[in-house]
Chain A
Amino acid sequence: ILNVEQSPQSLHVQEGDSTNFTCSFPSSNFYALHWYRWETAKSPEALFVMTLNGDEKKKGRISATLNTKEGYSYLYIKGSQPEDSATYLCAFTANNDMRFGAGTRLTVKP
């Protein structure tokens, strides 16, 4: 299993801005793509698990898309709020292995 890459590494936006970030993963031997949100001093919280090419998931102002053929997923946050400030991790699973990216650190300024 090859590495999972996330970009950008960090992002600073103003309250109310919409934003998105990318997770790239190996397109072969795909089983699932996970997104987690990790706030400082807390434990990672599951946002989405996607398994099918073309999947789109939504939870409030956060949504995600999946392209397994080209090996990428986008996470979108509409109208960012300060409480959205966190590290957003994606993880790729292939059979019995799970590989996390290093995350995108989002800071939303009031």
Chain B
Amino acid sequence: DTGVSQNPRHKITKRGQNVTFRCDPISEHNRLYWYRQTLGQGPEFLTYFQNEAQLEKSRLLSDRFSAERPKGSFSTLEIQRTEQGDSAMYLCASSSGTGSINQPQHFGDGTRLSIL
């Protein structure tokens, strides 16, 4: 299967710990997106990359959050000093395209984070 792959599927950790998630996009896609989704809400945009460049970062993303895509392929999202409010589903998506975000995105199955 050459879809978007996210690891791990589930992560349970204690408050204050750091966590890192990985996303492997569809190989020919130059764009990669991170979203956070909580119950009853649509996905909230966090950040996105075009190749290795991080083009936009939501103001929702505090300085405890950082994302990288060092070689323009896979990406990691790290949350430092986790808080209970960070409990959510973290979704990754990829697409082709340049300019505005006007290509369909292909989503992974997400990483569900639970903070104890």
Contacts and interface: CB of A to CB of B under 8 A. Distances in A.
Contact of A102 (B42, B56, B105, B109): B42
A88 B58 CA distance: 23
A40 interface: no
Given A31-B102, A43-B4, A49-B103, A96 B42 contact: no
Contacts of A93: 100-102
A34 B42 CA distance: 13
Contact-residue size bin, chain A (C-beta under 8 Å from the other chain): 20 to 34
Interface string A64-84: 000000000000000000000
Contacts of A45: 107
A13 interface: no
A98 B101 contact: yes
A97 B45 contact: yes
Contacts of B48: 96, 98
Given A32-B100, A95-B100, A98-B33, A46 B105 contact: yes
Nearest to A99: B45
A101 interface: yes
Interface in B65-113: 91, 93, 100-110
A20 interface: no
Residue with the greatest number of chain B CB neighbours at <10 A, chosen from A4, A51, A93, A94: A93
A42 B51 CA distance: 26
7 contacts: A46-B106, A48-B104, A49-B102, A89-B42, A94-B100, A98-B48, A99-B45
